[in-house]
Structure 1
């Protein structure tokens, strides 16, 4: 009887796990969600290339940036990138997701960031929260926050 109950619960557990895995894997990405995911990838490239011209029009005028060492607005973030105070050399994105709520989108990226900070190469795992707002049909980055992950 114990073996029969054990087998029954094991079968149900396997079926539930399989159903949950299929539901997550079958989430359809909309065109707008894909556009935001692509914008996020492009942002990492612009930051690595220190392309402040593209970032200037991409960052919302009231955007905020949260780092391990503090928080600031658009002009300081652009200055930090341009001067190399933080050089975002390479962001390896391991997972990315997006949720759109009206004219606001929230992206979560689990990344490993290779950066140069104060002349030193550093590599850190982060969960990065990006908030975008859609104004006049164009997505602008409103907030970029880095949360260091424990490994």
Structure 2
């Protein structure tokens, strides 16, 4: 009888561990997809989807300055910065409670001040689960060398 209880206990631990791992990787997949979708929405100038994603108090840090949600949406909609393509080379993600931080190493091709420019960045994105939706709280572009690697 003791052997059966021990085996049942071990089986229960395995099932709980697998369930936790699946849930965690499911959340990670959701955040990574959201991050990738965001790049496409920026390229498409889809401010309706971005407006829903960006928290009202979100902050955006670029090479030329920092601003809030309304200004970022205006920049995207007007095309004063057109995020034409973000080629994502590497992604790291950490989740703590209802907060997720994503680091993307990208090569960004953007139309800025009348010209296409290509720049290497590590972009830091901060998301927070609010009710049932993830909202972006911050997006920061850090200029890096193309040999830069994200530590996982």
Counterpart of 2:14? none
Q: Distance in 1 between matches of 2:114 and 2:139?
A: 23
Counterpart of 1:35? 30
Q: Distance in 2 between matches of 1:74 and 1:44?
A: 16
Q: Distance in 2 between matches of 1:60 and 1:147?
A: 21
- State the TM-score, normalized to the length of structure 1: 0.80
Q: 2:127 aligns with which of 126, 132, 143?
A: 132
Does 2:60 match 1:65? yes
Give 1:51 deviation, angstroms.
Answer: 0.3
Give 1:99 deviation, angstroms.
Answer: 0.4
SS at match of 2:38: helix
- State the TM-score, normalized to the length of structure 2: 0.80
Does 2:39 match 1:44? yes
Give 1:103 deviation, angstroms.
Answer: 0.9
Q: Distance in 1 between matches of 2:132 and 2:121?
A: 30
Q: Distance in 1 between matches of 2:127 and 2:68?
A: 15
Give 1:71 deviation, angstroms.
Answer: 0.2
Q: Distance in 1 between matches of 2:61 and 2:96?
A: 22
Give 1:150 deviation, angstroms.
Answer: 2.4
**Structural RMSD (CA):** 1.4
Q: Distance in 1 between matches of 2:134 and 2:51?
A: 13
Does 2:97 match 1:102? yes
Gaps of 5+ in 2: 1-20, 147-152
Alignment coverage as a number of residue pairs = 125
SS at match of 1:124: strand
